[in-house]
Amino acid sequence: SLQQTSTTVALNSQQASGEKMTSTESEAPVASPTSTALMGPTSPPPEADQFKTEANSAFNLGHYDQAIDLYSKAIDLYDKSAIYYANRSFAYLRTECFGYALSDASRAIALDQSYIKAYYRRASANMALGKFKLALTDFEQVHRRRPGDSDAKAKYTECKKIVQQKAFEKAIAYEEKRVSPCDEISQSLQSMTIEDSYDGPKLSEEGNKVTREFVTQLLDYYKKSKVLHRRYAYQILVDMKALLSAEATLVDVAVPEGTKFTICGDVHGQFFDLLNIFELNGLPSETNPYLFNGDFVDRGSFSVECIFTLFSLKLLYPKSFFLARGNHESEYMNKIYGFEGEVKAKYADKMVQLFREVFNLLPLVHLIDGRILVMHGGLFSSDDVTLEDIRKIDRNMDIPDSGPMSELLWSDPQDLPGRAPSKRGVAVQFGPDVTERFCKNNGLDYIVRSHEVKEKGYEVAHSGRCITVFSAPNYCDTMGNKGAYITLTGGKDLSPKFTSFDCVPHPTVRPMAYSSSLMQLFS
C-alpha cells in the first residue's frame, strides 16, 4: 500500500494497465487447482480457492496490493499449495517487495520441487536484488526443463552474460590500478570546445565556479528542455568530488535560533516538482537552508536536470545546502531504474563513471542540533549502534548488501514491535520499541527518514519518534500521492511542520523512459 512501500508502482505501462502477457514468467497467475503443483495430502477448501480466483482477477486488473491480500487469505485457509505462494510471489514482484517475493517462491519450491513457475519467481526476485549467481541457478533450472520456451531461454542467456561480465570485471580489478574518473576528466576539461551555438548558462570565467546567476539561468534552461554543456557538467562533477571528499559520513548541522530549515525527501528525477518546491518554499540560500534526503535520481526521466540542479546548489552554498545519499545513488539501481540510461542519452558513457564516484562520497546521515537524526532509510538490526559508530563508517564504496551502511539507506519502519525481515529483501524493518531505544540511547528527539511513498507526502509514526517525508508527488505519474517537505525553526522546540503539495505538469516524457532492458528479467 501507499503507507507501506515507496516502490508499489507498476514496472511499466503494460503492468499498469493490467494487460496479460503470454511468456512463461509473465503469464497471469495460475487459476486452475488441477495444476501439477503439489496440493498436499488434501485439496484446498472451496473458500481458499475462491480467494485465489478473486486474487487472480485483481492481479489481472493491476490491483496488486488487493491481490496480495486475497492470496494471503487463501494461504491462511490452506498453506500447502505451491500455487498460492507462487502467485503471491508474482504479486510481490509487481509491487517490488522483492524480499517477500523471494520468501514465497522458496516456500512454493519447498512444497513442490517440480513446480517450474516457482523457480521463475525466485530467479526474478534474486535478479531484482542483484543476486545474479542465485538467479542463474534457477533460470538454468527453468531453461533445462523447458528448452523450447523462448522467454526462458532469453532470460537464462542474459543472466548468464551478466554473471560472466561480473566475473570478468572482478578479475581485471586486481590487474589494474583504478584511475579516478573525475581526476582523469579534469585534465581534459579545458580542451573541451564550447560551440558558438551554445546559448545556455556558463560557469564564471574566473575559476569556473557556480554563481547564483548560473543557477537561475540553469533552471530556466532546463525548463526549455535543453541540456547543460558537457564541459560545465563535467566541471560540476569534478568540483563535487573535491567538496564531498572533505565531508564527514555524519554531518552535524546547526540551525540558528529563529532560522527556518527545510528537509525534503525523495525527488526521483521529477524536476518540475522540484522546481515547485522552490516556488512554494523559496530558492535555497544562506538564509534559506535545505537538506535533500537522498534518491535524487531514477524512475523520473528528468534525473539529469535534478542532479545538476542539486549539485550546483551544493557548490554554491556548501554550508547551508545539504545532500544525503539514498539507496538509488548506487550503481545497480541506476543501471536498472533509468539514471544510467538517461546520462548516456544526454551525455556519454564516461559520465556514468563520474557519477558513481561522486555518489559514493555523499554523506549518509545528518544530525540537526544534536537532536534530530536524518537518514534515507532507517535503523539497524542491532540496538548497540551509536552515533559514534555511524561517524566511523567508511562510506566511499557502492552500497553493500548488509551492515550499518546498507541499513541506513534501505531499512523501513513497521507498526509491530521488534524487527522483521525487510519486504525489500535488503536491511530490516524496525518497530516503535527499536526507535524508542535508539533515540533514548543517543539523546535524540526523533528521526527523519524518506524512502517510502506516503499519501500526504509524510507520515508520523512510532509515537512521533519516526517521521517519513517523501517529496515526489504522483510518483511515477501513477500513484496519486502528494509530495511534502518539513520545516523546522531553530530553537528549543524543533517540532516539525509539514507542507503537502500536488504534482505539476511536465513535458510528455514518461517515467522510466531510460530504464534498462534488465528490468525484463524480473518484471
Q: Which pLDDT score, from 0 to 100, does residue 205 have?
A: 84
Q: What is the CATH number of the domain that holds 128?
A: 1.25.40.10
Closest listed residue to residue 244, CA positions, set 352, 356, 358: 358
Per-residue pLDDT reduced to its tens digit, 141-175 = 999 999 998 888 888 888 898 889 888 777 766 55
Are 167 and 188 in the same domain? Answer: no
Structural domain containing residue 327: 184-521
Same domain, 150 and 203: no
Q: Which of 119, 145, 173 is the last residue of a domain?
A: 173
CA distances from 474 to 312, 333, 449, 452 (A): 26, 21, 19, 13
Whether residue 258 is found in the same domain as residue 142: no
- Is residue 257 located within the same domain as residue 145? no
> Within a domain: residue 357?
yes
User: Which of 281, 327, 270, 304 has the alpha carbon at shortest distance from 473?
Assistant: 270
Contact 181, 234 (CB under 8 A): no
Note whether residue 6 is domain-resident: no
Supply the CATH number for residue 505's domain: 3.60.21.10
pLDDT of residue 456: 98
State the residue for C-alpha cell 549518509.
Answer: 364
- Do 168 and 188 fall within a single domain? no
Domain boundary at 173, 193, 228, which?
173
Q: What is the DSSP string of 184-201?
A: HHHTTGGGS---TT--S-
Q: Is residue 99 part of a domain?
A: yes
Query: What is residue 16's predicted lDDT score, i.e. its pLDDT?
Result: 34
Confidence of residue 232 (pLDDT cuts 50, 70, 90): very high
What pLDDT shows up at residue 229?
98
CA dist., res. 319 & res. 321, Å (int): 6
Place of cell 531505544: 437
Rg (CA), the chain: 24
Helix 82-94 crosses helix 46-60 at what angle (to 10 degrees)?
20
| pLDDT for res 245 | 98
Is pLDDT of 338 > 80? Answer: yes
SS percent in the chain: helix, strand, coil, step 5: 45, 10, 45
What element of type H or E holds 250? Answer: strand 250-253
Residues linked to residue 468 through DSSP beta bridges, in sequence order: 449, 459
- Domain annotation covers residue 29: no
- Given a contact cutoff of 8 angstroms between Cβ atoms, the answer to whether 96 and 8 are in contact is yes
pLDDT per residue as tens digits for the range 84-98: 999 999 999 999 899
The pLDDT of residue 360 is 98
Specify the pLDDT at position 10. 39
pLDDT of 479 over the 90 cut: yes
Q: What is the pLDDT of residue 154?
A: 86
Mean of the per-residue pLDDT values of the chain: 90
Do 166 and 271 belong to one domain?
A: no
pLDDT by residue (tens digit) across 414-447? 999 999 999 999 999 999 999 999 999 999 999 9
Say yes or no: 133 and 59 in one domain: yes
Q: Which residues are catalytic?
A: 328
Same domain, 313 and 268: yes
pLDDT band at 14 (very low <50, low <70, confident <90, very high): very low
Query: Do 321 and 415 sit in the same domain of this protein?
Result: yes
pLDDT over 60 (residue 247): yes
- Cell triple for 78: 490452506
Q: Is the pLDDT of residue 7 over 50?
A: no
For residue 21, pLDDT over 50 is answered with no
Counted residue by residue, the chain has a size of: 523
Of 52-56, 136-140, 149-153, 211-215, the least confident: 149-153
489 and 365: one domain? yes
Sequence-distant (6+) residues with CB within 8 A of 282 are: 288
pLDDT, position 167:
82
Let me know if residue 30 belongs to a domain.
no
The count of domains in the chain is 2
Of 58, 89, 90, 55, give the one whose Cα is nearest residue 71: 55
Answer whether residue 475 is part of any domain. yes
- Mean of the pLDDT values across residues 339-346? 97
Question: Residues 189-206: what's their mean pLDDT?
Answer: 93
pLDDT reported for residue 25: 40
Q: Which of 173, 206, 228 is the last residue of a domain?
A: 173
Asked whether residue 1 is domain-assigned, the answer is no
260/291 Cα distance (integer angstroms): 12
User: SS3 of 162, please?
Assistant: helix
Same domain, 317 and 342: yes
Cα(102)–Cα(90) distance, integer angstroms? 10
Q: Is the domain of 169 the same as that of 190?
A: no
Q: How far apart are CA 100 and CA 15, in angstroms?
A: 19
Please tell me the predicted confidence (pLDDT) of residue 179.
Answer: 83
